[in-house]
Amino acid sequence: MEILVCIKQVPDDSVEVRMNPTTNTPDLEKITPVVNAFDTYALEMATQLKEAVGGTITVVSIGTDKAKDAIKNCLAVGASNGFVVKDVVTDTISTADALAKTVAKIEEVQGVKFDVIFCGKETTDCASGQVGAMLAENLGMPVVTNLIDIETIDGGISAKQETEEGYNVIEAATPCVVTVTKPAYDPRYPTIKSKMAARKIPIGELEIGGIAAPAVTVLANAEPPKKAAGVKIQEETIEESISMALGMMKDAKVL
């Protein structure tokens, strides 16, 4: 099975992002870039699928040379080869269009046809959750979103999809696109041996060109409002504390 995993390098979401007062843009200079969390789940699911049925995993990322570090990390935990796309994208429309053209280009370069294309359900920096579905539309492929498990069936895949009410089991013909949320397992960690092996794998570079113009314009950036300090109620009895809390809520017209 030929598998493609689309990843994005994003700022470490464990670090608080502040605004640069000079440029009024997010100050990312000192924040270490990492592989988007949902993309790591997608890669792990793809790797487990490869281990079950055999095949090859190709990883692709749109970005600068810095994205090669993210791809190297993926090569150390299950991917077979990787490409970085040097074109500039700024919104979901241009990203999905660039990825669709990249799929065709990599298939041409490698002489393969991808059976399943994996994406994280969203990125932690923008969280639009649109690229996977838009990519499928551009490629004319079926799409299954919010996967927590996948297996192969005759002529396609069977996917377990997470919903607000529970789970759906959806079958789709291949080739197809899937987006992955957090499954029941965590991504694996690389070993020293796998890291050393990943360093020796060359990463391809592509420039696609002719990408759809972005349709989104950012008008302004702002930090989220700070949470107001809470009020601590410590009366002598529980009844008095409840009475005071209800009184404060009534005064604030939230009761």
User: pLDDT-derived band of residue 88, with 50, 70 and 90 as boundaries?
Assistant: very high
Q: 164 and 246: one domain?
A: no
Give pLDDT tens digits for 124-136: 998 999 999 999 9
Quick check: is 216 in a domain? no
Residue 253 has pLDDT above 90, yes or no: no
Is residue 41 located within the same domain as residue 95? yes
Give the pLDDT confidence score for residue 172 in this predicted structure.
97
Domain membership flag for residue 25: yes
Position 45 pLDDT exceeds 80 = yes
Q: Is residue 11 part of a domain?
A: yes
Does residue 212 fall inside a structural domain?
no
Position 228 pLDDT exceeds 80: no
- 181: containing domain: 2-206
Residues 151 and 194 grouped into a single domain: yes
Report the domain count for the chain: 2
Note whether 38 and 164 are same-domain residues: yes
- CA separation, residue 163 to residues 92, 145, 148, 224 (Å): 23, 10, 10, 28
- Whether 23 is covered by a domain: the verdict is yes
Residues 132, 230 within the same domain: no
What are residue 167's DSSP bridge partners?
162
As a whole number of angstroms, the distance between CA 192 and CA 195 comes to 5
Are 152 and 101 contained in the same domain? yes
> Helices H, strands E: what count in the chain?
6, 13
Question: Which residues, including other chains, have CB under 8 Å from residue 211's CB and lie 6 or more apart?
Answer: 87, 89, 94, 97, 98, 101
Contact indicator for 101, 207 with CB cutoff of 8 Å = no
Instruction: Say yes or no: 59 and 99 in one domain.
Output: yes
pLDDT at 158: 97
pLDDT tens per residue, range 175-216: 999 999 999 999 999 999 999 999 999 999 999 999 999 998
